[in-house]
Amino acid sequence: RSLAELDEAVTHCRACPRLVGWREEAARVKRRAFLDWDYWARPIPGFGPEDAALVLVGLAPAAHGGNRTGRIFTGDPSGDLLYATLYGLGLASRPESVRRGDGLELYGVRITDPVRCAPPENKPTVPERDTCRPWLVRELGFLRPTARAVVALGGFAWQALLPVLSAAGYTVPRPRPAFGHGARVTLPAADGGPPLELFGCYHVSPRNTFTGRLTTDMLTDLLGTAARTAGL
């Protein structure tokens, strides 16, 4: 299988009944501002090239964001900030991501989530997170030859990523490293291949940006450091 085939395969997954119900319910009810949208209402695959050097990992799509537009981090304020920042760093072809198939390109960066379906209140359960884990393990397996840095956007991503990185062939220290903005850990490859640098970054959600916990400068600094570390 190729990564493109994996991306296609995940869009057909229905393994979590609660999330399948939620993503489809959102598409039926819609939000008033999006009544003319034909919602995607399926799992959201990762976005970005197959030979990415930098991988950004979030939480899960938003019911009226990615679940509507069909692209990760697209259609909500979190994504607006993330793509604009990537564009400012020269890592995206445009500052806005509008919807799946709009022609936007990422340069050397792939964005993905540990949970691919929109959960109620943006809170997947632990069993849902664990059910979705194999998709991310396989995705990181495809990216392994080129990936040199990964950024966990928020504590959920950090906790979800550590077992995934272990399953994907990296040595995760014990005790497990703690999440924080600016946390940084080198993960050696168990087979002697190139190591992966793991970064922690506050999630780009309005809860963090409106309160000033995460500023645009902080995000730009952290993603810029991660991109340089990855050789971009």
What is the residue whose two structure tokens read 């396989």? 138
Least separation, in Å, of the C-beta of 12 and ligand SF4?
A: 9
Tell me: does residue 220 bind ligand SF4 (CB under 6 A).
no
Tell me: does residue 137 bind ligand SF4 (CB under 6 A).
no
The residue within the footprint of ligand SF4, chosen from 9, 15, 98, 137 (CB under 6 A), is 15
Tell me: does residue 164 bind ligand SF4 (CB under 6 A).
no
Distance CA 187, CA 33 (A): 44
Tell me: does residue 116 bind ligand SF4 (CB under 6 A).
yes
> Which of residues 62 and 117 has its CB atom nearest to ligand SF4 in the complex?
117
At 154, which amino acid appears? G
Cα dihedral across residues 148, 205, 124, 48: positive or negative: negative
Least separation, in Å, of the C-beta of 17 and ligand SF4?
A: 8
Distance CA 71, CA 76 (A): 11
Structure tokens at 29: 């009810």
Residue 57: which of 123, 3, 137 has the closest Cα?
137
> Which of residues 45 and 108 has its CB atom nearest to ligand SF4 in the complex?
45
The stretch near ligand SF4 (CB under 6 A) out of 14-22, 94-102, 158-166, 181-189 is: 14-22
Tell me: does residue 218 bind ligand SF4 (CB under 6 A).
no
Positions 29 through 58 that interact with ligand SF4 (CB under 6 A) = 43
Tell me: does residue 10 bind ligand SF4 (CB under 6 A).
yes
Kindly report the backbone phi and psi dihedral angles of residue 222, in degrees, each rounded to the nearest multiple of 5, phi listed first.
-70, -45
Distance CA 152, CA 56 (A): 6
The residues facing 47 across adjacent strands are 111
* Edge-to-edge strands, sheet with 184-187: 109-112, 54-57, 149-153, 196-201, 184-187
The stretch near ligand SF4 (CB under 6 A) out of 45-53, 99-107, 115-123, 216-224 is: 115-123
Q: What is the SS3 assignment for 211?
A: coil
What is the residue whose two structure tokens read 């919807």? 99
The residue within the footprint of ligand SF4, chosen from 3, 7, 19, 52 (CB under 6 A), is 19
Q: How many residues in the shown chain lie near ligand SF4 by CB under 6 A?
A: 15
Q: Which residues bind ligand SF4 (CB under 6 A)?
A: 10, 13-16, 19-20, 43, 115-117, 128, 131-132, 135
